[in-house]
Structure 1
């Protein structure tokens, strides 16, 4: 929902390109453009597998089907219990961990997947008095020195083994690994059918996996009226309200509270960077598409471009990751007056150093910059370097949504924009909303478990 029509400059100061020129195919210098006329017709708009370099569903779901090895025996060490499997290498489990994760009804409430034992009952000095494996090898029973007894299923233990392989499998269950992309994504845009998402859990699971890995999906077949985002959200996640409402309508308005409510060019941006809880996933339902030239969506993987910048210009990358920038939204919308400010770096990093999210918004970025003049010049140098990479033809593409399509993007990763259109010459009507990653990943995990026995 941010806008802008600004010139981007190369480091020498010469004009790189005016962003409005992206509207013109002749000026895109190789930028991939997919208009409705150029797209190959598809008899089945359902989500397909071709857009993956690897089959995402096998990255996690197949692990849920993998048979778990049975137990053979167990031996006590100083601080750990060593268990031996029918297949594979033996594993060690710390006594304190076993006691902390006792699965008996007195210690664990299975209906809530939650411990109920008091932490005061836990000690580093806990030791078993007796350990034995069931005759069928399916469980391990530990009797502690205080007489407390706990039984662990073999499969449960195996899933939680401390070896790198099992930890890596759990990491991929927790959060799927992203696959970064450039303009070649225009040739393999993931697609889904609205009706299938509403009726088929397998199709919904594939879409959710795709969103985690690639960060975008185009859903076709929605009705040409507002309210479809609410219907789809009943299958996925609650809609996250903002000061623009639970959903918002993007049309040309006489007194716009946001540049998106005009026909102007919208620079590549993430939505609502001025909120400390920046929405995770954005949905844009194209109810009516502008019939003339313009109104195309521009898409780029900000993490791919940031990773490239880190490699090519490490010092500039770190400037964007360190200097705090004010993002602000001050206007009146539907009678609500607001002045919202958040301060964050352009590139936010996780404690591990991985890229967490890119915060970029031409109009949402405030004029206050709490650095020295010299630091400001260095920051702009780094910022424009990132924009040079971002708008390089190989790093973004355009796609014109058709009426009835819903564009879903990871707002923490995928930047989107819009080419200008003559708003006075026709209607363009889009309804937008936001989802939460916690709820989406929860839905994905639940569906994986649910479909475990059906494939």
Structure 2
């Protein structure tokens, strides 16, 4: 994106008062003084004019190089002034009447910014605490009759900017309060609004089957992951794209999974604890704590905010069996959509209830199998990006809606769609099988990648995994910090934001 500042507006669009006041600006005074001095001086070597005076030799003309430099300077100053739009109403000009909207030239087009937006976004030390970067006033404090006027300035830190003066400012701010926004920041604000309003989403997720993940799978060394931010960024980027990541050479310690998770951020504490053990035990409160076969599922879908990441560190792998399976639920959902838009729509709308009902814990939540991002006004639900998938048959509760009363057929339609989806999820070409060895850890996106486990014989050895969870806010916070540091941009709500001053 480039900033076009060369467009010159018709002179008739500038009021005489505007021209007069523009000529009284500091930059214009400097320009006149420069021109006057150049008319009475020359640049050749001082030795040639050691005895020259204006009274005896008279005026001299500037050299062609000096004339060219002066023309370039005047052009630059004129271009900077033309960044602001001058029209018959003097919208938003420091030399005109204050206005509710400020007009600025962005990418060669005149863009209007609401004065409230510009005032609310002020980052001066009076409006934003320099240590916490938090606002010290409320948006609701801005008066309804707020108006602003502006001029072009060159800020030492932000570069080419507009400086705004406010009428009817927030209570407590004096007449000397000014707001500055860089042209680059305004340009980014315009493009972000357009991207959000357009409903298009940037998504670099890679859908995978067995062949693709076998080819692209990523293994990361524990020490490099823990000590090098570049390695961490590469690992989290891969995890965000594929939803699956493996680590090797993890120390034989129950604290290793804590250290791995803490490298991203705070662990998610649940009723299972900050960490938990996956090992066979009698009278287990969870099927995962038995040696039985465990089908494809996601964890904690009965909570309002299920964990985003799950970490499983293999401490003991000394029993036959117990291989892990992984399946990309997004890939299977897209396959289902291509085969049957109706079944895809059913899984996107039918309410499925999950629960964990025990004497000391009772969790209960209802959600569709396929969770979509909100669709734009003119978009079909089947054309909307998948946000997350909810699939956990072991923890499914009895249905509570559309159960067949009044001769409704919704439940039968859901069963048919669920059957078709499960066949895709568990098909051999879509499954990735791996048996975790001791000292290895897998991290996967619990809202996308389904995991399962083969049965094992607990009488012939020990199988022990140490687990932990990380929430989505924590993961994406760390990823954005690293994205901004290494790539100068970050993403939220499917829109890429570039780092600006």
TM-score bin, normalised by smaller chain: 0.7 to 0.9
Q: Given that residues 246 and 442 in structure 2 are in contact (C-alpha distance below 8 angstroms), is that contact kept between their aligned partners in structure 1?
A: yes
User: 1:275, CA displacement in angstroms?
Assistant: 1.5
Residue 153 of structure 1: aligned partner? 182
Asked if the contact 1:349/1:355 (under 8 Å) is kept, the reply is yes
Query: Could you tell me which residue of structure 1 aligns to residue 363 of structure 2?
Result: 340
CA distance in 2 between partners of 1:167 and 1:378 (Å): 34
Given the alignment, which residue of 416, 422, 428 partners 2:463? 428
Question: Offset of 1:269 from its aligned partner?
Answer: 0.7
Give the secondary-structure state (helix, strand or coil) at the position aligned to 2:313.
Answer: strand
Kept after mapping to 2: 8 A contact 1:325/1:343 = yes
- 1:256 matched to 2:284? The reply is yes
- Which of the two has greater strand per residue? 1
Instruction: Measure how far apart 1:452 and its partner are.
Output: 6.4
Paired residue for 1:144, among 148, 166, 184?
166
Q: Which residue of 2 aligns with 1:102?
A: 122
Residue 90 (structure 1) shift: 4.7
Equivalent pairs, count: 377
> Are 1:365 and 2:396 an aligned pair?
yes
How does 1:214-225 map onto structure 2 within 5 Å? Answer: 214-225=242-253
Candidates 271, 279, 283, aligned match of 2:311: 283
Q: Secondary structure at the match of 1:108?
A: coil
Shift of 1:438: 0.8
1:308 is aligned, of 323, 335, 342, to 335
Provide the rounded CA distance (Å) in 1 between the counterparts of 2:237 and 2:421: 29
CA distance in 2, matches of 1:224, 1:135: 55
Contact kept? 1:132, 1:141, Cα under 8 Å: yes
| Paired residue secondary structure (2:393) | coil
Q: Give the structure 1 partner of residue 296 of structure 2.
A: 268
Q: Measure, in 2, the Cα distance between the counterparts of 1:436 and 1:389.
A: 28
Map 1:55-454 onto structure 2 (within 5 A): 72=80, 73-76=83-86, 78=91, 80-84=101-105, 89-90=108-109, 92-96=111-115, 97-122=117-142, 126-134=146-154, 137-146=159-168, 147=175, 148-162=177-191, 177-183=204-210, 184-292=212-320, 294-331=321-358, 337-352=360-375, 353-373=384-404, 374-451=409-486
Deviates more, 1:343-352 or 1:123-132: 123-132
CA distance in 2, matches of 1:360, 1:108: 44
**Aligned residues of 2:319 and 2:458 also touching (Cα < 8 A):** no
CA contact (8 A) 2:247 2:440 kept: yes
Displacement of 1:222 in angstroms is: 0.8
- The alpha carbon displacement at 1:378 in A equals 2.2
The CA deviation at 1:228 is: 0.8
TM-score, normalised on structure 1?
0.74
Q: What's the secondary structure of 2:191's corresponding residue?
A: coil
Between 317-326 and 197-206, the greater mean CA deviation after superposition = 317-326
Q: Structure 2 unaligned segments of length 5 or more: list them.
A: 6-78, 92-99, 169-174, 376-383, 489-501
Q: Please report the RMSD computed on the Cα atoms of aligned residues, expressed in angstroms.
A: 3.0
For residues 142-200 of structure 1, give each alpha carbon's deviation from its aligned partner in whole angstroms, at most 9, with x where no partner exists: 223455421123443343333678879xx99xx86422222221221122111111111
**Is the Cα–Cα contact under 8 Å of residues 69 and 154 in structure 1 kept in the other structure?**
no
* Deviation for aligned residue 1:347: 1.9
Alignment partner of 2:269: what SS?
A: coil
Between 270-279 and 156-165, report the one with greater CA deviation.
156-165
The structure-2 alpha-carbon separation of the partners of 1:91 and 1:305, relative to structure 1 and needing over 3 Å to count, comes to farther
Against the structure 1 CA distance between its residues 89 and 403, is the aligned structure 2 distance closer, same or farther, given a 3 Å change threshold? farther
Q: What's the TM-score, normalizing by structure 2?
A: 0.68
Contact 1:69 1:155 in 2 (8 A): no
Distance in structure 2 (CA, Å) of the matches to 1:91 and 1:290 = 69
| Contact kept? 2:313, 2:440, Cα under 8 Å | yes
Q: Looking at secondary structure, tell me which structure has more helix per residue.
A: 2
Q: Which residue of 2 aligns with 1:8?
A: none
Q: Bigger radius of gyration, 1 or 2? A: 2
Cα distance between partner residues in 1 of 2:273 and 2:192: 47
Q: More displaced, 380-389 or 157-166?
A: 157-166
Given that 1:273 and 1:327 are in contact with CA atoms closer than 8 Å, whether structure 2 keeps it comes out as: yes
Q: Is this contact kept in 2: 1:176–1:212, CA < 8 A? A: no
- Choose between structure 1 and 2 for higher RCO, CA contacts under 8 A separated by at least 6 residues: 1
1:365-392, CA deviations, whole angstroms, 9 ceiling, x for partnerless residues? 1234432334332221111011011122
Deviation per residue, 1:52-110 (Å, 9 max, x gap): xxxxxxxxxxxxxx99999933225656544447xx54562503221221222222334
